[in-house]
């Protein structure tokens, strides 16, 4: 008797490993790849439950792993995070997981967080410390960016608005000059937070 696979994950988004059962959005994945290749920064915005996280997780990440962004290849280090109530620390924690020499991930995360907080160039400096191999790219996926606004009252930072602005600035500055470093950023956000 063969095992039956349920093609629907339920209320959670599809992830990269479920690409084989994620279908019907090839055009959207192709559009996302084209935007990312051109700008190094793109956002997937839509209503709650419209499949933004699935499009990125099972669509885009799987396409990148297969080398479908041909101009940059298929070697990626991917930091996937949600901002939560401490976005810069959460980014540092995910970047520490990508560090090739990180025997002590907690210490590495602390050092990366300090680098990120030093200036708006902090993300570029942190990526330089990752010692990317030739032909290797880094993708930062910030899922549910609206958490910057939803959880601001519970932020660990003294000034939550400054923390949010600093986080966004790190992402924008890192991708402003694509020739510097192969850094790519994809955000997902619920459309009702566009005004924020």
Asked if pLDDT for residue 3 goes beyond 90, the answer is no
Model confidence at 118, in pLDDT bands (50, 70, 90)? Answer: very high
pLDDT at position 174 over 60 = yes
Q: What is the pLDDT of residue 8?
A: 58
CA angle, corner 168, sides to 162 and 173, nearest 5?
A: 115
In the chain, what are the domain boundaries?
Answer: 24-65+74-191
More confident residue, 131 or 3: 131
Say which CATH class 24-65+74-191 falls into.
alpha beta
Q: What is the pLDDT of residues 19-72, one digit of tens each?
A: 555 555 677 778 888 999 999 999 989 888 777 777 777 678 888 888 878 788
Q: What is the mean pLDDT of residues 141-153?
A: 86
Does residue 11 surpass a pLDDT of 70?
no
């Amino acid at each position: 008797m063969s095992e039956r696979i349920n093609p629907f994950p339920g209320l959670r988004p599809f992830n990269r490993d479920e690409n084989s059962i994620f279908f019907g959005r090839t055009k959207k994945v192709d559009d996302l790849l084209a935007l990312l290749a051109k700008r190094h920064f793109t956002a997937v915005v839509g209503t709650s439950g419209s499949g933004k996280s699935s499009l990125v997780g099972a669509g885009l990440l799987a396409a990148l792993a297969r080398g479908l962004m041909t101009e940059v290849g298929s070697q990626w280090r991917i930091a996937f995070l949600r901002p939560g109530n401490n976005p810069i620390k959460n980014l540092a924690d995910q970047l520490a997981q990508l560090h090739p020499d990180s025997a002590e991930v907690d210490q590495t995360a602390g050092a990366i967080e300090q680098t990120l907080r030093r200036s708006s160039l902090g993300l570029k400096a942190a990526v330089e410390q990752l010692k990317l191999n030739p032909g290797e790219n880094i993708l930062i996926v910030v899922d549910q960016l609206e958490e910057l606004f939803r959880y601001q009252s519970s932020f660990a930072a003294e000034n939550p608005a400054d923390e949010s602005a600093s986080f966004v600035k790190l992402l924008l500055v890192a991708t402003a000059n694509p020739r510097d470093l192969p850094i790519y950023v994809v955000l997902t956000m619920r459309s009702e937070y566009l005004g924020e």
